[in-house]
A = this chain, B = another copy of it.
Amino acid sequence: MAKKIEQQRQECIIPLDIGEKYRVELPHIIDDIVESCTNALCFNHVDAAVIPSKESVIEIIEIIKDILYPGYLGQQEIDRHNLPYHIGGEVTTLFEKLSYQVSRSIIHECRRYNRLCTQCIDRGQKEAVNFLKKIPKLREILALDVRAAFDGDPAAKSYDEIIFSYPGLLAITIYRVAHELYVQDVPLIPRIMTEHAHSVTGIDIHPGAQIGERFFIDHGTGVVIGETSIIGNSVKIYQGVTLGALSFAKDEEGRLIRGTKRHPTIENDVIIYANATILGGDTVIGARSVIGGNVWITQSVPPDTMVILETPGLIYKSRKGF
């Protein structure tokens, strides 16, 4: 057996320089692919010049997290002596990377509409500085979110555990950052940020959503919060909850009408349990109401209401035959 395997191993070594037999076909294949880039149907980004880099946007998120929660995430230990230098260095790097990427996204937008972008670079820097100025306020709001998580989850052992490991807090942190850039009309980057959070946490919050203080998402996988959702203070949401659109208005040419309020409004102190789905721009969940798990709602619910599914029918039967 060992001998056979040895023999197989010999015969199966893969030569690193791969034979000519198939390689000769490559030039034709390459020509066809390049040709397909002139196919009006296909999407290229040729001659459209600068675009923001997803990798850089993710780097920017990491720097912002380190500035928002100093000493938690980096390898380096922070004390009161090196703190100012640490923050100073991080903020300077952030300014350079962020203003560069924001400029690129603004230029990219100009191009799409064939505008000349005489202000693009300046605006990129301006928006970056405007964002930096919001960081102290962001830290205060996020601190309330951390406390809401601790007060809302009996499994939480400490604030540190929440900052270290809770996906809900990570998604809310990135959303609050992206929302500020969205409010500043920065193109593309806010959505790239929240989709990165979506990829890492399974929580999909559109940067356009408006969310109050002390927001807590527990577990979070599958949560969807649509672009025009409005959420009050002290709202608590569990995994799989959707705040979505009911149906889409179209114009006379049958194209979707964009920008109308399509997603629900959730008032203060509402709790929405796992996998509930709430749809529609006119749907309002009144203050202090509780929406049970798996409930599917397309109409408003008054304040102080609990909505739950009736218990499902119980069918007793032996698993034999199942």
- 23 examples of A-B residue contacts, CB within 8 angstroms: A11-B117, A12-B107, A14-B107, A18-B100, A22-B128, A29-B132, A39-B139, A44-B78, A45-B69, A108-B160, A152-B256, A155-B206, A160-B188, A167-B195, A198-B202, A204-B221, A219-B224, A221-B222, A221-B223, A247-B322, A295-B312, A306-B319, A308-B312
Q: Which residue of B lies closest to A200 (CB)?
A: B199
Q: Which residues of chain B come closer than 8 Å to A152, judged between CB atoms?
A: 256
Question: Does B293 lie within 8 Å of A319, measured CB to CB?
Answer: no
Residues from 270 to 322 in A contacting B, C-beta threshold 8 Å = 273-275, 277, 279, 288-290, 292-297, 299, 301-302, 304-319, 322
Number of copies: 3
Q: How many A residues touch the partner, as a band?
A: 35 or more
With A9-B49, A42-B143 known as contacts, the answer to whether A21 contacts B111 (CB < 8 A) is no
Q: Does A79 contact B (CB under 8 A)?
A: yes
Asked if residues A296 and B292 are in contact (CB atoms below 8 Å), the reply is: yes
Q: How far is the CB of A255 from chain B (nearest CB, A)?
A: 8
Give per-residue flags for A2-31: 1 if the beta carbon is below 8 A from chain B beta carbons, else 0: 100100110110110011011101100110
A301 contacts across to B, CB distance below 8 A: 314
- Give Cα A15–Cα B302 distance, bound, in whole angstroms: 56
Closest beta carbon of chain B to A213's beta carbon, Å: 12
- How near does chain B come to A254, taking the closest CB pair, in angstroms? 9
Task: Kindly identify, within residues 230 to 284 of chain A, every residue whose CB is under 8 Å from any CB belonging to chain B.
Answer: 238-240, 242, 244-245, 247-248, 255-260, 262, 273-275, 277, 279
Residue A181 CB within 8 A of the other chain: no
Let me know if A129 is at the binding interface, CB within 8 A: yes
Within 8 A of B (CB), among A121-164: 121-122, 124-126, 128-129, 132-133, 135-136, 139-140, 142-144, 146, 151-155, 157-161, 163-164
Q: How far is the CB of A72 from chain B (nearest CB, A)?
A: 5
**Per-residue 0/1 for A30-42: is the Cβ within 8 Å of any B Cβ (1 yes, 0 no)?**
1011111101011
List A residues 159-182 near B (Cβ within 8 Å): 159-161, 163-167
Chain B residue contacts of A277, Cβ below 8 A: 273-275, 293-294
A248 smallest CB distance to B (angstroms): 5
Shortest Cβ distance from residue A99 to the other chain B in the assembled complex, whole angstroms: 6
B290:A304 contact, CB within 8 angstroms: no
Whether the Cβ atoms of B312 and A135 lie closer than 8 Å is no
Q: Does A184 contact B (CB under 8 A)?
A: no
Which one of B2, B140, B158, B307 lies within 8 Å of A112 (CB-CB)? B158
CB distance from A268 to the nearest CB of B (A): 12
Q: Is the CB of B201 within 8 A of A21?
A: no
Task: Specify which of B41, B72, B294 is in contact with A275 (CB 8 Å cutoff).
Answer: B294
